[in-house]
Chain A
Amino acid sequence: MKGVIFVIFEDFITSNFGQETFEELLEACPHMAKEPIVSPKTYPDEWMVGMLTAACKRLGLTPPDALRAFGKFAFGSLIKRYPAFIDGVEHPRELLLAVHDIIHVEVKKLMEGATPPNLYYEDVDGEPDQLIIHYESKRGLCMLMEGLLDGVAEHFGVGIDYEQTACTHRGDPRCTFQLQFQHAVKA
């Protein structure tokens, strides 16, 4: 997992729960305490799992709730770091459709060794305010994706109702999100 996600996770903890909480979490994650974590480098996924587990234990959160909250926070941080990705984008649907073929392609150029999830899209016939997104990742972080969708909705001021109709955690081959945008997509 890229360092930028670890750095944003640190911001998420320190902004919401204070610096001391993060220092306490580091004590439970000795690898992360020793290694200077920087955005462009890649670190083992297990380090993030360890950090999340420690955060859930310390803060009394369930992993899905923690991932959703982190995802929502992470979207705001990502667009501050990479504002070009939302330049000229007016509706969340437009942004979401650009994630796989544009944004993730750019991420791979900027960050050597990045392995973002694969996203596949499906339109719903006659329903421009709906969208189906299939999420595939060996990391199985669909809850993070839910939080990112919350962040996207908040940023654009357009509510997104979503339902996970399939999920690898329930034995499905991939995760599927059915989205309904609350404000009309401009023609």
Chain B
Amino acid sequence: MDLARWEQRLEREKARNLELERIIEDKTRELYLANERLRRQNEGLEAEIEARTVDLRAAF
């Protein structure tokens, strides 16, 4: 195979690596944001439980 075709192949592999890195970064960001969302929801739920427990204690 001539040099021009090997160069073409190399360029394709580089572009492929870049694309894969971009996908990994996107997915990592998505995971981070999903985890943050879950953490905030969890904190909200715990605060709500706390408030309701205080209300219940006051009622008895």
Q: Is the interface of B mostly helix, strand, loop or mixed?
A: helix
CB pair B23 A38 closer than 8 Å: yes
The chain A residue with its CB closest to the CB of B2 is A20
**B57: Cβ under 8 A from any A Cβ:** no
Instruction: Identify which of A23, A33, A38 contacts B16 (C-beta below 8 A).
Output: A38
Considering the chains assembled together, what is the distance between the CA atoms of A85 and B53 in angstroms?
A: 48
CB pair A36 B18 closer than 8 Å: yes
Instruction: Identify which of B8, B15, B23 contacts A41 (C-beta below 8 A).
Output: B23
Instruction: Identify which of A23, A26, A40 contacts B1 (C-beta below 8 A).
Output: A23
**A19: Cβ under 8 A from any B Cβ:** yes
The chain B residue with its CB closest to the CB of A37 is B16
Interface size on A, residues (CB 8 A): 11
Considering the chains assembled together, what is the distance between the CA atoms of A89 and B1 in angstroms?
A: 42
Chain A residues with CB under 8 A of B5: 19-20, 23
CB pair A19 B16 closer than 8 Å: no
CB pair A36 B16 closer than 8 Å: yes
CB pair A38 B20 closer than 8 Å: yes
Chain B residues with CB under 8 A of A23: 1, 5, 8-9
CB pair A36 B23 closer than 8 Å: no
Residue-wise, chain B 10-54 has the 8 Å CB interface mask toward A (1 for contact) of: 001001101110010000000000000000000000000000000
Please list the residues of chain A having a beta carbon within 8 angstroms of any beta carbon in chain B: 18-20, 23, 26, 33, 36-38, 40-41
- 7 smallest beta-carbon distances between A and B, as pairs: A36-B15, A36-B16, A20-B1, A36-B19, A23-B5, A38-B19, A38-B20
